[in-house]
């Protein structure tokens, strides 16, 4: 399946809105993300992080504005036409498929030849360091290993953009720290672009090149961890980030 977006330089959200009935979950979100960046969408529960991510993925329609990839509208395309990789909090693996089959599923669906699928699955297994676990079922793996499978499955299709929604929040504190480092390593080695949703300030500060702070469905500030620390936009941002000033 040809993806609409095999290469891109910028993803742009212009005045993106989304409502659910009378609730305005997102209003007027303007944001540009460049190829290669690791961007965190950060904010308290209910601020619109998942809604933003799902609108970018195409899992949710937008109610206003536009989403553009290199200036071309993608908000009218179906999720599979956008071709982005997704990683969810609950892993969303197929319980009856092995690690290898879970990772290869998307390639099979796209009609990629067997030999090429095997090569790319091997590469993804190495990338997420799951060698030796290929024949296991998800139920036989730890939470961290299951999340590694989910990440491998997302990157094996070589997506231009990987979207992660609180991928570590089901893990215990120790695994969370370990997988945090792994996610940044995988981003660097894969050489892709990542949008990472989290409500955890430390996670955003330690992982992201740039942080987008959301509150009540609007962007309050966008900046590098250093910029946010040096000059938070307002008291709310400073307080939420845990910076005293
Ligand atoms: P976050 O991911 O930041 O916790 P969400 O994007 O899931 O927040 O939700 C933003 C707001 O939209 C919340 O008030 C939430 O209750 C509401 N919302 C999200 N999805 C739906 C839905 N499918 N139907 C109705 N309201 C929704
Ligand atoms: Mg959410």
* Residue range 139-154, pLDDT digits in tens: 999 999 999 999 999 9
Atom number in ligand 1 closest to CA 197:
2
Q: Given pLDDT bands bounded at 50, 70 and 90, which one contains residue 51?
A: very high
Atom number in ligand 1 closest to CA 47:
3
**Selection from 29, 15, 25 nearest residue 47 by Cα:** 25
In this predicted model, what pLDDT tens digit does every residue of 125-141 receive, in sequence order?
999 999 999 999 999 99
Q: Percent of the chain scored above 70 by pLDDT?
A: 97
Which of 16, 51, 165 for mutating ligand 1's site (highest number of atoms within 8 Å of CB)? 51
| Average pLDDT of the residues in 19-24 | 96
Measure 52 CA to ligand 1 centroid, in angstroms: 10
Mean residue pLDDT of the chain comes to 94
Sort 243 into a burial class: Cβ within 10 Å, 0-12 / 13-18 / 19+.
middle
| Average pLDDT of the residues in 10-19 | 98
The pair of three-digit structure tokens given for residue 164, joined into one six-digit string: 């992660």
In this predicted model, what pLDDT tens digit does every residue of 61-106 receive, in sequence order?
999 999 999 999 999 999 999 999 999 998 899 999 999 999 999 9
Whether the predicted interface score ipTM is above 0.95: yes
> Which protein residue's CA is at the shortest distance from atom 22 of ligand 1?
20
Q: Tell me, using a 6 A CB cutoff, whether residue 46 lines ligand 1.
A: yes
Scored b (16 or more CB within 10 A) or e, 185-223 reads ebbeebebbbbbbbbbbebbbebbebbbbbbebbbbbbb
**Sheet bearing 10-20, strands edge to edge:** 23-34, 10-20, 64-69, 72-73
pLDDT value, residue 3: 45
Cβ pair 53, 165 in contact under 8 A: yes
Scored b (16 or more CB within 10 A) or e, 38-64 reads bbbbbbeeebbbbbbbbbbbbbbebee
23-34 vs 161-165, strand pairing mode: unpaired
Atom number in ligand 1 closest to CA 48:
6
Strand (E) or helix (H) holding 99? helix 99-109
Sort 132 into a burial class: Cβ within 10 Å, 0-12 / 13-18 / 19+.
exposed
Atom number in ligand 1 closest to CA 45:
4
Neighbours of 228 (CB within 10 A): 24
Count of residues in the chain = 245
Q: Given pLDDT bands bounded at 50, 70 and 90, which one contains residue 7?
A: confident
> Which protein residue's CA is at the shortest distance from atom 19 of ligand 1?
51
**Selection from 231, 201, 203, 227 nearest residue 214 by Cα:** 201
Distances (CA, A) of 108 to 85, 157, 207: 15, 10, 32
Coil/strand/helix, residue 232: coil
| pLDDT of 120 above 80 | yes
Q: Tell me, using a 6 A CB cutoff, whether residue 47 lines ligand 1.
A: yes
């Amino acid at each position: 399946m040809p993806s609409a977006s095999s290469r891109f330089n910028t993803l742009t959200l212009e005045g993106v809105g989304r409502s659910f009935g009378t609730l305005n979950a997102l209003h007027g979100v303007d944001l540009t993300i460049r190829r290669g960046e690791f961007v965190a969408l950060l904010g308290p529960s209910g601020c619109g992080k998942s809604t933003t991510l799902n609108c970018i993925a195409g899992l949710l329609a937008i109610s206003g504005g536009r989403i553009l990839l290199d200036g071309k509208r993608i908000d009218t395309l179906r999720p599979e036409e956008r071709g982005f990789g997704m990683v969810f909090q609950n892993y969303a693996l197929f319980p009856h498929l092995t690690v290898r089959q879970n990772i290869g599923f998307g390639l099979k669906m796209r009609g990629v030849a067997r030999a090429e699928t095997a090569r790319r699955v091997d590469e993804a297994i190495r990338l997420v360091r799951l060698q030796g676990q290929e024949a296991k079922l998800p139920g036989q793996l730890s939470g961290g290993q299951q999340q590694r499978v989910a990440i491998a499955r997302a990157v094996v299709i070589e997506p231009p953009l990987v979207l992660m929604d609180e991928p570590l929040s089901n893990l215990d504190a120790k695994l969370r720290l370990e997988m945090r480092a792994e996610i940044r390593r995988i981003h660097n080695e894969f050489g892709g672009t990542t949008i990472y949703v989290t409500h955890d300030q430390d996670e955003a500060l330690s992982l992201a090149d740039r942080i987008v702070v959301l509150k009540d469905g609007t962007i309050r500030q966008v900046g590098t961890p250093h910029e946010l620390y040096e000059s938070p936009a307002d008291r709310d941002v400073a307080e939420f980030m845990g910076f005293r000033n």
